[in-house]
Structure 1
């Protein structure tokens, strides 16, 4: 009788341990699924500065906001603003904006000559890259 009781107790413990492990695995799989889903969301870079915000010869600030899903990206691997006047991108210059936190990157800049300037915000973060363009 004692052997039967020991055998039943041992089987019960093994069953409980297996159920517990399955629940842990399901929790881990759910967490991995959430991380995978988050990594599939695109990197979004939005210019916060309006196209008409600059006046010739006066310093202004070019600002972008970087997000991935619902999360602000304050730890981008690289952010560069490529700036040029007119249609010839070969004359462009690249500048590194300041990380202001909460996904905001800003560069103080002066457009010295009248005309249309183009800015591409080259942004790499969390295994993604985005390059939106804005005219000023």
Structure 2
């Protein structure tokens, strides 16, 4: 290989390495910002009192939003609840849509204990399941 061909090969090698490095950096920047900038997330603010009484109605509210806008047409909003650590005996009840993205569930506990409440919310091809507990005496 003559001197000019070696020089051309070295120059082309540096150019290819530089292009490959730029491409990798662009891909990393794209992956790191895509998750926070263009994707709207389904958000559910589950409201449940921390304490309740036997034989008194308890109300749970799931406020469903996406990009700070109320979701009035969720595909499904179900509340699941159970006492203490006995999830095998959980009950699922469909929530009632109220207004302003709020879905309501009411139940009356018949026994003292810790009740777990999960709101199963599906909307805009997303699903989320926030959980809270309430102490009933």
TM range (shorter): 0.5 to 0.7
Is 2:78 the counterpart of 1:80?
A: yes
Alignment of 1:22-61 (within 5 A): 37=38, 40-52=39-51, 54-61=52-59
Instruction: Please state whether the residue corresponding to 2:98 is helix, strand or coil.
Output: strand
Q: Please identify runs of 4+ aligned residues in structure 1 that moved more than 2 A.
A: none
For residues 1-39 of structure 1, what are the alpha-carbon distances to aligned partners after superposition, in whole Å with 9 as ceiling and x for unaligned?
Answer: xxxxxxxxxxxxxxxxxxxxxxxxxxxxxxxxxxx93xx
| Structure 2 contact 64–102 (Cα < 8 Å) conserved | yes
* TM-score when normalising by structure 1: 0.68
**What residue number does 2:107 align with?**
109
Q: What is the RMSD of the two structures over their aligned residues, measured on CA atoms? A: 1.4
C-alpha distance in structure 2 between counterparts of 1:89 and 1:97, whole Å: 19
Q: Normalised by the size of structure 2, how large is the TM-score?
A: 0.67
Deviation at 1:86, TM superposition (A): 0.8
What is the Cα deviation at residue 108 of structure 1?
1.9
Aligned to 1:71: 69
Tell me how far apart the structure 2 counterparts of residues 49 and 93 of structure 1 sit (CA, whole Å): 17
Three-state SS of the structure 1 residue aligned to 2:88 is: helix
Residues 78 and 121 in structure 2, CA contact (< 8 A), matched pair in contact too: yes
Which structure 2 segments of 5+ residues have no match?
Answer: 1-36
Give structure 1 stretches of 5+ with no counterpart: 1-35
Q: Distance in 1 between matches of 2:67 and 2:107?
A: 29
- Within a 5 Å distance, the mapping from 1:116-127 to structure 2 comes to 116-127=114-125
Question: Within 1, Cα distance between the matches of 2:125 and 2:105?
Answer: 24
- 1:100 aligns with 98
